[in-house]
Chain A
Amino acid sequence: MKTIYLDNNATTQVALEVLEAMLPYFHDLYGNPSSMHSFGGQVGRKIREARESAAALIGAAPDEVIFTSCGTESDNAAIRSALLTQPEKRHIVTSRVEHPAIKALCAHLAEQGYRVTELPVDGEGRLDMEQYKRSLTPDTAIVSLMWANNETGVIFPIEAAAQLARARGILFHTDAVQAVGKIPIDMSKSAVSMLSISGHKLHAPKGVGVLYVRKGTRFSPFLIGGHQERSRRGGTENTPGIIGLGKACELAAQHMETENTKVKALRDRLENELLTRVPNSRVNGDRVNRLPNTSNISFEFVEGEGILLMMDEYGICASSGSACTSGSLQPSHVLRAMGVPFTMAHGSIRFSLSIYNTDEEVDFVIDKLPPIIETLRSMSPYWRTGERACGTA
């Protein structure tokens, strides 16, 4: 059975070019980039190139790039550094819809006595900038807001938010794991202090990430050890992973246009067709300020896990914000923060596309999914009564 992979916000396929770039560095060129001999030194050179590619993708200088093990490490390193370098400041501003890498960390820090402001979002997943402004205080050590939401694709006005923070002397971090490679990001014209990237979201392998730290930002390392990454992140480099990430960043820069034309067109067609063919369905999140690859659709009165498993029978891969799939017993915190009603939240499906998806795949999904929803609704005790009660279309 062919796999139709529409779950690229969970992880992406490693690009063939990336794989080829990495392969020599497992077995043949295994030297330590820190070694004095040329056998290791040649690996060091490749890491330098990778750093340049990663920096170029986000308009940064190479020495502003720290390679890490993943997006979560980058997020943790950023927040903890901000707190350690400004011990007198005890306040963190973030949002209710952040990835667990930020959300759980902030909850943990709140336990330790830090004050955390979690900004709410509106029904479309948007921030209230006036409320954001009011949340910034002289005690605020750092703001951490995601560039784009992993579940809905909704894009926050990060540049505007970062400028407001900088004007008040507050550090600004953004988890840009979902945004990098999909929308233009230019740190040379930005007020962002720190930014997290995850390799496996942009066709590099799992186990490698980046923390961008603006020149002049005081930084306290998260992993303390050797002199690697100019002593800002100890530990022998994940050389194949870093070299793969470098290649992936090069490719992402080349494919940015495709993301915003071809991928966006595929996403829009998938979304519009599903909304037309399935009654009582709707899009979650701001449809204008949104990543070009993401669509989060709720199918009312059915439960997401059932939809996913039935799609799985056809080889279609997606995600759901339903309780049964969220790992807890409640629907996704993002949809709850947006006030999506329960009848909708449990039946939410996230489709996230990539440059590798095709028209035929979209055709297949819009053909197979509507009958699945119909089957599940025919089993649901709420379907007919709900239709009467709500009368929605």
Chain B
Amino acid sequence: MWEYTDKVKDHFLHPRNVGEVEDADAVAEVGSIACGDALKLSFKLDENKRIKEVKFQTFGCASAIATSSALTEMVKGMTLEEAEKITNQDIANYLGGLPQEKMHCSVMGREALEKAIDVYKGRAPKTVEGNIVCDCFGVTDIEIERAIRENNLATLEDVTNFTKAGGGCGNCHGAIQEIIDRVRAELSGKPAAKPKLSNIQKIRMIEETIEREIRPALKHDGGNIELIDVVGNRVLVATRGACASCQASNQTLKHFVEAKLKELVWPELTVEEVSQ
């Protein structure tokens, strides 16, 4: 059972501003039924360009409904410039916090608000920019990067909790980790440090990288790979399954496996295939 605050429960059981604003100045919809939650937001401005009326319709869990309700209460009476400054964290704070696994609901609220404002201003919605990283939930690299920056996220699990990215088949975990590493490095103001590694550390990092970044892709084609040994800068591997009989496996080893390991473990290594 989720630990919801009394305020979340209140907004779920007694949601404010449900419905659609008639003759709305802007309407925006984010999410989809396939993803498990969706939010349709509509608003109307008064003569001073302040939000006079705002309503929502939400398909989703209790926290999705509660964050939608909270959002409408928060923005009422604001100018669009003020409303634009609301972050997902502000929405969560308004509700006295959300369970970590439900933070994506607050992100959905912020996205809907932003999209509605974009619609009003005639701008292209920001959420469709970028490249899709997570196919299961249609999350782009820009959305992931933004969630990391705004919420100071550090792990893959965090990113999934906030954006849903990586919460489905898991094929994108490597790509998400790369974004995290890049953004974290930028946030700390220096490139990610690559200290000198002991052999044990090297083996562990290679194993992890193979598991996370390489094996899923190979398995997709019915192949597999196994680390046999590490001798100095030589990484000795054996190919398994479809890779073992594949003509192109040399190419895969050089251009995919070695490139990945150079990038993520240490740049001087070379990958060699041994039969075992």
Q: Which residues of A contact B (CB under 8 A)?
A: 301-306, 309-310, 313, 322-325, 328-331, 342-343, 346, 378-382
Contact = CB atoms under 8 A, between A and B. Distances in A.
Contacts of B34: 342
B238 interface: no
A351 B33 CA distance: 23
A331 B36 contact: yes
A328 B64 CA distance: 16
A306 B167 contact: no
B167 A381 contact: no
Contact of B18 (A303, A305, A379): A379
A382 B15 contact: no
Interface in B237-268: none
A298 to B, nearest CB: 13
8 contacts: A301-B33, A303-B61, A303-B64, A309-B62, A329-B137, A329-B168, A379-B57, A379-B59
A324 B59 contact: no
Contacts of A378: 18
Most buried by B among A323, A331, A342: A323
A141 B64 CA distance: 46
Main secondary structure of the interface of B (DSSP, over half): mixed
Given A302-B59, A303-B59, A330-B168, A382 B33 contact: yes
Contact of B61 (A305, A328, A380, A382): A305
B168 A324 contact: no
A330 B167 contact: yes
A343 B12 contact: no
Given A313-B13, A346-B36, A382-B33, 12 more contacts: A303-B37, A303-B64, A305-B2, A305-B62, A306-B62, A310-B13, A325-B61, A379-B15, A379-B18, A379-B58, A381-B58, A382-B59
B236 interface: no
Contacts of B136: 329-330
B110 interface: no
Given A306-B12, A309-B62, A380-B59, A324 B38 contact: no
Interface of B: 2, 9, 12-13, 15, 18, 29, 33-34, 36-40, 57-62, 64-65, 136-137, 160, 164, 167-168
Given A330-B136, A380-B57, A323 B36 contact: yes
Contacts of A380: 57-59
A329 B36 contact: yes
Contact of A343 (B2, B15, B33): B33
Most buried by B among A329, A330, A342, A346: A329
Most buried by B among A306, A325, A346: A306
B12 A309 contact: yes
Contacts of B137: 329
Contact of B33 (A313, A325, A346, A379): A346
A192 B64 CA distance: 46
Nearest to B165: A329
A2 B15 CA distance: 26
B167 A379 contact: no
Nearest to A309: B62
Given A331-B36, A343-B33, A346-B36, A306 B61 contact: yes
Contacts of B2: 305
A323 to B, nearest CB: 4
Contact of B36 (A310, A322, A379): A322
A346 B12 CA distance: 18
B244 to A, nearest CB: 13
